[in-house]
Structure 1
Amino acid sequence: MIDQLLSVSTRNALSKLTETVNQGAASAASQVAAPGQPSFDHVLSELASSVSGKLQTAEAVSMKSMTGDVPTRDVVNAVMDAEQSLQTAIAIRDKIVQAYLEISRMPI
């Protein structure tokens, strides 16, 4: 149901973030993270999971508000929290892509 409610740009942003995480996981597979510290791909995958969870929570709260079980204030808070998380994830994705493009332009 959440896919039907998300706009096309939001779905594209989430899919691009997931692709970025998967590419980071593939490149990080050859490197070993220091013991006790999370790897870069692990941090990005947790970010993607967190954003997805907040979007699903916002959807669930919105659906409950239609039956009158949840006050409007809680719906607004959940939706705003989900939007803020999504905007943060998009900004991080954009920075990762920008860094990749900058590195790829460096002369060898």
Structure 2
Amino acid sequence: MIDQLLSVSTRNALSKLTETVSQGTGGASQVQPAATTGGPSFDNVLSQLAGSVSGKLENAEAMSMKSMTGDVPTRDVVNAVMDAEQSLQTAIAIRDKIVQAYLEISRMPI
């Protein structure tokens, strides 16, 4: 059950990331499409994903600090922390799959 939810979460995160990349961001450079698939390159997708996770973690930390002074309601802090946790779990799952694929390829006979 958790694996199914995690794969849904991963697909949602990657689809949002792909939409963000295809639309372009304010001052960020556009991602050049890959020659074979017509989509963004793998390294750009991973770097965007890492940046997104990092941003959500920083946002959750900032919200937690603001809640200590009473500037932010507890509900907003919980939402930010849960969003950051979900993003981190998705990034960890993607990392594990990449490592697993690398190990599988390295075991292949030449």
TM-score (ref. length: structure 1): 0.68
Structure 2: stretches of 5+ with no match in the other structure? 1-32
TM-score, normalising length: structure 2: 0.67
Aligned match for 1:62, one of 60, 64, 80: 64
Deviation at 1:34, TM superposition (A): 1.8
Higher relative contact order (CA 8 A, sep 6+): 1
Amino acid of the structure 2 residue aligned with 1:56: E
Gaps of 5+ in 1: 1-31
- Give SS of 2:94's match: helix
CA RMSD between the two structures: 1.5
2:103 maps to amino acid: L
Q: Secondary structure at the match of 1:38?
A: coil
> Deviation string for 1:25-51 (max 9, x for gaps)?
xxxxxxx92285210000000000000
After TM superposition, what 4+ stretches of structure 1 lie above 3 angstroms from structure 2? none
Q: How many Å separate the matches in 1 of 2:34 and 2:79? A: 37
